Structures are given as C-alpha cells and as structure tokens.
Amino acid sequence: MENENKSPYLFLEYEDVQRSFADLNISLLEGRHIQISDSRIFHLLESYPEELKHYYESLYGLELTHDKYDNESYYYLNFPLDSKGKLSESSRYKLLSDQNTIIGIMLLNIYHEKFFDKEKEVTWDDLVKIITEGENSNLYRKLWFNDIRDNYDHLDWKKKFYDKISNTLKEFQKLGWITGVFPQKSGTEIAQIQEGLRFQINVSINRFAKLYEHEIHHFDKFVETYHKNHVERL
Amino acid sequence: MEQNLNQIYQKYTQLLPSREEGMVIFHLNQRIKSEDIDTCFSRSDIENVVQEIAKLGVGDSTPNVSRIINQLLQYFLENPPQKPYRYQLTEYAKRFLALVENKLNNRLKDVPLKESFEQFALPKSGQITNIIQLNQWFELGFTDNGRKLVTRHLEAFKDDVLSLTKKLNGILYMEEQNARFKVESFAEIFGELGDRSDQIGETLALRNSLDKEIDSLVDSFYQKIEEFKNPTNEQEQTQFNTLKHDYERALEIQKEVNAFFDIVDTKFEQIVEKMQYAMSKFEDLKDNLRYQSKFKINTRRFLKFTLEQAAYNRESPVLNVGFPKRYLVSESFKFINVNHIRFLNPPKRQVRKRTKNEAYVNQARDKITKKFGSQHKIREWTQRCKQILIKEGKLDFTEHFYRILDEEKDVKIPLAVSHELVRFVSDNPDYEIVIKKEILTEFRSKDVLTWKTKINHHTYS
C-alpha cells in the first residue's frame, strides 16, 4: 500500500542524485551520449535506470535509451517514433549535417575495423592513410579535394580537409562519440596538426549503427529502394 | 647535454633522411645487392633510382636530383678514394640500413630467449668475487647480451601483437570465408601470440634468481667493509676507501638492473593487456561470429555507398537529396562540459607472413581454449564484483578473494580479478581501496593470505 503512494520522483531527493543530476540532465538534453568515462553521471544512470527512464518519458516525452556494444554500456535521449516529445521546437533538436553524417559513418567503420584493438585511436596519419591509400581512396579524394591527384600540398590538407573536419570533431566530442585533442583551425601550421591531432573513438559511436540500423542490416534492399526512388525523382 | 641537443637539432634533417631520400638509399642498396649496379655507382645510377622512386608516388613527381644528392652527400653518400665521379654508401648509411632491417625482420626473436638469457645474463653463483668481475658481468653479460636480448624480444612481441591484431581485424571482413575457417585462423594467431608471451614471461620470472644473486653480491661487498677494522693509517684508509667504492659501484649496478626490469615489466604488461583484450573480444565473438562479420561487412558497404552519394562543396561536403537524414536531441545550455582526455601513443604497424603448421595449429588451439577458460572466469568474476560495487557502493574484496579461490581452485584467477579491480578503481576516482594490514581470523588457516581489503564508493567512505 505504501509503495503504491510512493512518488516516482522521490529519487530526486536522494543526496547522490542531487549532487549530479543537473550535470546529467544538461548533458543528456544537449544530446551527449554518456558512457563509463563520464564516471559520476554514468554511475547515476546505472543506479537509477528505471526512475530516470520514467522521468524523461513523463516530463519530456523522450526515451532514455540504454545501448550496449562490446560489453560496454552507453546512454542517450532518443525521440519516440514519429514524435519529438516536448522538444518539438526547432531549436531543441538538430538534423545531422551532411558532413557530420559522412564523418560519423566513416568513424563507425574505423571503430569496427579496430575491433581487436584495445585502443580505438585515430591520428592525423591514420586519416591521411585512409584518404590516400584506403579502399575508398578515390571517393575520399574527390569528396575533400574535388579532384583525384597523387599528391596534395599542405595548404590543400589544411584548408580543404582539416578546417572542415575540425568543427565536426569538436561537435562529436561534445556528443561523447570521440575524446581527443584537436588543434585550433586558425593560426595553426600543418605540422602542429600532424603532431597534435589524436583522438579515441568511443563505444557510443555505435549510435550511428542504431541511427542507420535498417540501412545497414538490409543493405541490398535499401540500395535497391534508394535507386528506385532516385529514378522516380528524376 | 644542452650543447648536444643543439647539435642534433641543427643537423637533424641531414642525420635522418626524408622519406624520399631514405627510399633512394634503400633502393640503391637493393640494386647493389642484386649486382645491378657496382658498389661504386655513378650519378646516372642515382638519377635512375630517383626517377623510379618518383614513380612510386614518393615525393615530387619531378624530383630535383641535384638537391637529393647534395643532401645525401652530407652523411649517406661519399666519393670513394681515387674515384671523384663515383659514389658509395657511407658506413653511417650502412648502419642506418641495418637498423631498419633489424626493426622489420628482427632476427633475434627466433633465438630461444630464456636459455640465452640464462647463459649470458645470469651471474653464475660463486664466479663473481670482486668488483672487476662484477663490472665485467654487468658490461658484457647483462648490458651487451641479456638486456639487448630481452629488449629485442619485447620489441618483436610488440610488433607481433600489433601486426597480428591487424590481421585479426582483417579476418572479420573476409566475405568469401566461412566461420570455421575464420575461427581456425584466429586460433592460429592467438597461439603464436601466446607462445611468445609465455617465453618472455618465463624469462622475466628469472628476475627473482637475478635479484637474489645480486643481493648476495652487494651484501658480500658490504660485509667486507664491516669486517675491516677502523683505518689507523693512510694505507688502511686507502684500502677502506677502495672497499667503500666497490660497495657503492655494486649498489649502482643493482639499481640499474632493477630499473631495467621495472621498465620491461611495465612494457610487457601493456603488451599483454592488448593481447588479452583481443582474446576477450574473440570470446565475445564466438557465439555471433557470423552476425558480427555480416554486420561489419555491411557497415563497410554502407560507408562506400554514402561516399558515392556525396559530393565536394567549397563549404563542406553534401549528400544526395534522397539520402536518409537523422535527428538528434539538442537543447542548448550555456554550460561547458569538461571532457576526459586521454593521450595515447599511435600504434606502429608491420605485416609479416607466416607459414601454416597443422600440428602447431592444433596444439595452439588447445592451449588457447585453456587460456580462454580462465580468461572467461576472470571476466565473469570481475563483472560480478563491479556490479556489486555499482549497485551497493562497497565491496568486501577479502571475502570475494577467498570465495573465488574456493570455487575456481586456481590462485591466478582471484589475483587477476584483484588486478582488474585495482585498475577499475584507478580509472574511477569515485572509488577508493582501503587496505588494513590485518588478516581476518576466519581466513588464517588458508594457504594464501591476504590483507583485509575493501573497495568503497566515496559516498560510503
């Protein structure tokens, strides 16, 4: 009987919740994916999963999602199917830009290609190698430099590649998908970027696999439908 | 030292060739070896090599031969005596080539490590009685042989782990191969890694004998000082000073040997961690190898498709209008998140081919299955302890230590679990380990004794 009257928000009065809830709430609403390296707020999510799930569902109309990959958990807020919950105002959600989508799918692949590596680390040299020697080299060269050449000079790498991707990398760091060091765009020599750029891809990059779950799992069918629709649009 | 650094800084670009210049040296050396050109070669030989290197896409497509030759003439090329229009590789260039060759094909890694170390690096009991002999052992036995052997084996082990990890990653993407082939390939690779790891581990265990031997040597030098009566004249004072100097030198040697093994232990542990991680990933894969492999292959195909649908744009790349787009929650706050940053070294990569040996593969597979068994238990117990910690905020590890020992009958498992938990706590500042130097009465009769150890979340401390 006593339990029936218990408020589902009672947990907000607990000392550990009061200490960390503000940070957790802001991070989740900003779109951050919380994983073990976010120690304190991750601990809160692990301690009160049901209470917090109910909290976001009833007050924000959002789903607090718990995903797992490689035996590592990560949490994030997700929209329910066909709705944006209480965040329907356009300033409260964002469409992933084309560049962010491309880089996200690229990083998802790098993460999986390093399945057996303890550290999913990426350096400037790794990125250059992927673009100039990887299996999609020509597609990357065309995408970033607009032409396919054997060599690109330092200015090309700086202006056409790094200056563009650095914003995405910083955004991804805020979202919890990567953790690292990103040299400033302005006033930075290419040598500083070559030596300084270094980041770790986090387990939550698998959110991209969730975002494009249907397309990846039913790839052949997806491509078939995509091309069919493309012809119809023409 | 500062002057030395300045000197290196000034001459750095001449001492170490650029990729283009280095490739010219390697190519010239290959041509000399295959007797295509003479050891004293001509300028046109160099020009030909430079052009061939340019075709490989290294450096400029129209290289400046004179600049390259001038640069290499500083340390890598020289004119042979009496032949002013010919060139030859300098001794420095040959040493540089040998260094790279050794890194790529470390020949020492096939030498049995433990036996060689025992033979060359361990001081034989009773053979060293004075400081000259101790110095000789340190310079010739330990520094020239033992230290080099262990370091090179360790380097080779690191290279093996990196290149084999790359190979493991590649197997997952083999579209044409069936699951059984993949599992066998994985087992073969883990077998190779396990053997090398065992060999180095056994050698590092020899440290105990080495420590004991050096301890007793240091003690014997100290004993000589103790036994020497108080010096009463100049001659006795000189003798006393010599004994003191011998003892100090013995201490120095002991310190250097310990420092070397401490570094080696840490490095070895880091490499083994990488290897164990790969093994645990394989264990995760065992039940859903087919699914994971298909998922990874499709993810790769999806990336290619995405790139095909994307086009260059001055501002940022654009995707075809029909490409599916996704939304994220994004409420903005004026709040700055301070993120956890980790600095790590980039992995080195190296590929090495190996021939297949069926008997060896089977033996390796048995070995690996055994290793997986205990690895699995360690992971399972560690997970259980972590769950208790997260749920209850505290853990009596002493109790769990003996519980694990009782159930698993293998002391390595509770020890490995305690190691994992210490790492977990050191990565998570919210937890702390409290060790009290007391042995609980109920555990006093056990074969293995441990201090009373608790792990607490800071809210419980």
Contact A105 B303 (CB under 8 A): yes
CA–CA min distance A36, chain B (Å): 9
CB B249, CB B135: distance < 8 Å: yes
Residues of B in contact with A26 (CB under 8 A): 333, 335
Higher pLDDT, B283 or A22: A22
Considering only the beta carbons, identify the residue of B301, B306, B330 that sits closest to A30: B330
Q: What is the pLDDT of residues A39-59, one digit of tens each?
A: 899 999 999 999 999 999 999
Q: Per the CB < 8 Å rule, is A200 touching B273?
A: no
Average pLDDT over residues B31-53: 90
Angle between helices B397-408 and B412-427 (to 10 degrees): 150
What rounded mean pLDDT belongs to chain B?
82
Residues of chain A contacting residue B57, judged by C-beta atoms under 8 Å apart: 150-151
Give how far A102 is from chain B: nearest CA, Å. 7
Binary contact (A116, B430; C-beta < 8 A): no
DSSP letter for each residue of B224-289: HHHHSPPP-SHHHHHHHHHHHHHHHHHHHHHHHHHHHHHHHHHHHHHHHHHHHHHHHHHHHHGGGH
Mean pLDDT (whole number) for B408-424:
86
Look-up: residue for tokens 């068994």?
B373
Cβ contacts of residue B77 below 8 Å, gap of 6+?
Answer: B46, B69, B87, B88, B89, B90, B93
> Percent of chain B beyond pLDDT 70?
86
**Identity of the residue in B335, B342, B390 whose CB atom sits nearest the CB atom of A179:** B342
Structure confidence at residue B378 (pLDDT) = 86
| CB-closest option in A79, A112, A118 to B329 | A79
Mutation target for B interface from A115, A147, A168: give the one with most B CBs within 10 A: A115
Select from A46, A216, A217 the Cβ nearest to the Cβ of B390.
A46
Mutation target for B interface from A14, A82, A116: give the one with most B CBs within 10 A: A116
- Of B61, B317, B346, which has the smallest distance from its Cβ to A123's Cβ? B346
Inter-chain touch B308–A139, beta carbons under 8 Å: yes
State pLDDT tens for residues A138-190. 999 999 999 998 888 888 999 999 999 999 999 999 999 999 988 887 777 88
Subunit contact B169:A116, Cβ cutoff 8 A: yes
Mean pLDDT over residues B235-241, rounded? 90
Is residue A1 pLDDT above 50, yes or no? no
User: What residues of A are in contact with residue B428 (Cβ under 8 Å)?
Assistant: 36, 39
Pick A118's closest partner by Cβ from B173, B277, B303: B277
Q: Find the CB nearest B337 among A27, A70, A180.
A: A27
Q: What is the pLDDT of residues B137-147, one digit of tens each?
A: 888 888 877 88
**Contact: A115, B172; criterion CB under 8 Å:** yes
Which of A169-173, B222-226, B378-382: highest mean pLDDT? A169-173
Q: pTM of the prediction?
A: 0.65
CB contact under 8 A, A98 and B340: no
- Could you tell me which chain B residue has the CA closest to the CA of A116? B278
The pLDDT assigned to B320 comes to 93
Query: Least CA distance to A179: which residue of chain B?
Result: B341
Q: What is the mean pLDDT of residues B57-80?
A: 81
At position A228, the amino acid (one-letter code) is K
> In the A/B pair of chains, how many CB contacts fall below 8 A?
200
Q: Check whether B345 has a pLDDT greater than 70.
A: no
Q: Give the CA count within 13 Å in the CB-facing half-sphere of A20.
A: 19
Q: Which long-range contacts (CB under 8 A, 24 or more apart) does A104-108 make?
A: A104/A172, A104/A177, A104/A205, A104/A208, A105/A208, A105/A212, A105/B299, A105/B302, A105/B303, A105/B306, A106/A130, A106/B303, A107/A172, A107/A177, A107/A178, A107/A201, A107/A205, A107/A208, A108/A205, A108/A206, A108/A208, A108/A209, A108/B299, A108/B303
Nearest CA in chain B to A233: B322
Q: Which residues pair with B48 in a beta bridge?
A: none
- The alpha carbon of residue A203 is apart from the nearest alpha carbon of chain B, in Å, by 14
Residues of A whose CB is below 8 A from B274 = 117-118
CA-nearest residue of chain A to B314? Answer: A160
Residues of B in Cβ contact (< 8 Å) with A29:
329, 331, 333
Mean local confidence (pLDDT), B100-121: 69
Q: Is the Cβ pair A16, B459 closer than 8 Å?
A: yes
CB contact under 8 A, A102 and B346: no
Residue A198 pairs with which residues in a beta bridge? A123, A181
pLDDT of residue A2: 46
